[in-house]
């Protein structure tokens, strides 16, 4: 399969994966209302999804080194569609908990493997393309969140909404399953043994921390932006998903333009500027002056966070000291772990103080990114 054709397939998988995040984000208030849990209690429920993903990261990395990123991507894409369908159909809090663990596991494994496939396509094309993959992920998330607001207005139940979305994702899923991509086994036999935990070291650790902070901000917007506007700012439920939609639109714009910007200026200056911009957007969001300031802050946050995670994943895939699967898994352990573990922790902060304080914490943490950006430069 030519690299250009493979890029289309990987792009489609990233887009499909993003739609399920937007689907979940748009109906979080419904899940919270159905369970009757507080912010802290619902945060514990989100922690179950995080545990599923955290369990999958090292296993997916090791399996990717052994079987190839394309094969693992196809398998985990199927599992993700099935798992999110079960989340929508779960009739009780207990079954929802089980479904969230399975959904987190499938989603975490898919994220590691599709980033690995994307890195291989990037290498084959000999130019940056990872940012555009993540741009399509954000496009899918934002589009699905916007449709989620429409589904609420139309009175679609959560099971109806989730089942309909799973059916709509089938064409992309079937198409990706039919595509072939060569796999070169990892040269280090030790890489074929899945580690219990995959923790990055040295400069790769700093790259992982950049991914952590960026993913924490993105996870906060995904899981808490709608509730923040409803509970702290008093906005209606029908317009509450707008902040995440605006955030995702900004992510799409910047990520689709990010490959050219990174090629021109380099990853380190782009990451430093991105950290400052994301922090500024967080301040506007926390201020809550009016709805337009909140949405402007969401947009600016999206611009700032957009390319940080793709940069960290590209840095991991190019690491000269670890196999591709293990390096990607190690950065994902921090990055996607924060995306999933972070929101539950922010929920506890929201319980003790407010969700405004949760987003303020995110804004402060973002200020460390410019100081760690030098780790994104690959050294032989």
Domain-wise residue ranges, the chain: 3-180+194-376
pLDDT over 90 (residue 163): yes
Determine if the pTM surpasses 0.95: no
Rounded to 5 degrees, what angle do the CA atoms 374, 330, 81 make?
120
φ/ψ of 172, rounded to 5, equals -65, -40
> Taking the mean position of all CA atoms in its chain, how far away is CA 64?
19
- Under a CB-based contact definition with an 8 Å cutoff, are residues 84 and 100 in contact? no
Q: How many helices (H) and strands (E) does the chain have?
A: 15, 0
- Under a CB-based contact definition with an 8 Å cutoff, are residues 109 and 56 in contact? yes
CA distance 164 to 221: 24
Cα→Cα distances 276→285, 303, 375, Å: 15, 10, 17
Tens of pLDDT, residues 16-41 = 999 998 888 888 888 888 888 877 78
Highest-confidence range of 16-25, 224-233, 335-344, by mean pLDDT?
16-25
What class does CATH assign to 3-180+194-376? Answer: mainly alpha
Tell me the DSSP string of 34-56: HHT--HHHHHHHHHHHHHHHHHH
- Which of 176 and 295 is assigned the larger pLDDT? 295
CA distance 98 to 56: 15
φ/ψ of 364, rounded to 5, equals -65, -45
pLDDT over 70 (residue 256): yes
Arithmetic mean of pLDDT, 104-131: 88
């Amino acid at each position: 399969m030519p690299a250009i054709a493979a890029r289309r397939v990987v792009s489609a998988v990233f887009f499909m994966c993003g739609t399920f995040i937007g689907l979940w984000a748009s109906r979080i208030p419904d899940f919270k209302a159905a369970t009757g849990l507080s912010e802290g209690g619902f945060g514990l429920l989100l922690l179950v999804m995080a545990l599923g993903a955290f369990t999958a990261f090292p296993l997916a990395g090791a399996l990717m080194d052994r079987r190839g990123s394309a094969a693992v991507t196809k398998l985990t894409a199927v599992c993700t569609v099935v798992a999110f369908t079960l989340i929508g159909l779960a009739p009780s809090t207990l079954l929802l908990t089980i479904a969230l663990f399975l959904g987190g596991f499938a989603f975490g494994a898919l994220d590691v493997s599709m980033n690995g496939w994307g890195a291989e396509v990037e290498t084959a094309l000999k130019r940056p393309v990872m940012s555009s993959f993540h741009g399509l992920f954000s496009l899918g998330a934002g589009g699905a969140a916007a449709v989620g607001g429409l589904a609420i207005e139309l009175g679609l139940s959560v099971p109806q909404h989730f089942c309909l979305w799973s059916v709509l994702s089938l064409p992309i899923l079937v198409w990706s399953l039919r595509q072939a991509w060569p796999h070169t086994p990892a040269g280090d036999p030790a890489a074929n043994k899945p580690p219990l935990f995959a923790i990055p070291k040295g400069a790769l650790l700093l790259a992982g921390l950049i991914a952590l902070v960026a993913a924490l901000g993105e996870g906060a917007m995904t899981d808490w932006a709608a509730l923040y506007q409803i509970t702290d700012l008093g906005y209606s439920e029908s317009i509450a998903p707008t902040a995440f939609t605006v955030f995702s639109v900004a992510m799409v714009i910047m990520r689709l333009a990010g490959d050219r910007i990174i090629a021109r200026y380099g990853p380190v200056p782009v990451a430093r500027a991105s950290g400052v911009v994301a922090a500024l957007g967080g301040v506007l969001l926390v201020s809550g002056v009016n709805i337009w300031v909140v949405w402007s802050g969401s947009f600016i946050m999206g611009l700032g966070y957009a390319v940080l995670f793709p940069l960290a994943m590209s840095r991991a895939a190019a690491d000269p000291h670890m196999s591709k699967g293990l390096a990607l898994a190690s950065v994902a352990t921090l990055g996607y772990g924060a995306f999933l573990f972070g929101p539950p922790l922010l929920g506890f902060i929201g319980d003790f103080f407010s969700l405004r304080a949760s987003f303020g914490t995110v804004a402060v943490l973002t200020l460390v990114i410019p100081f760690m950006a030098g780790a994104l430069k690959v050294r032989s």
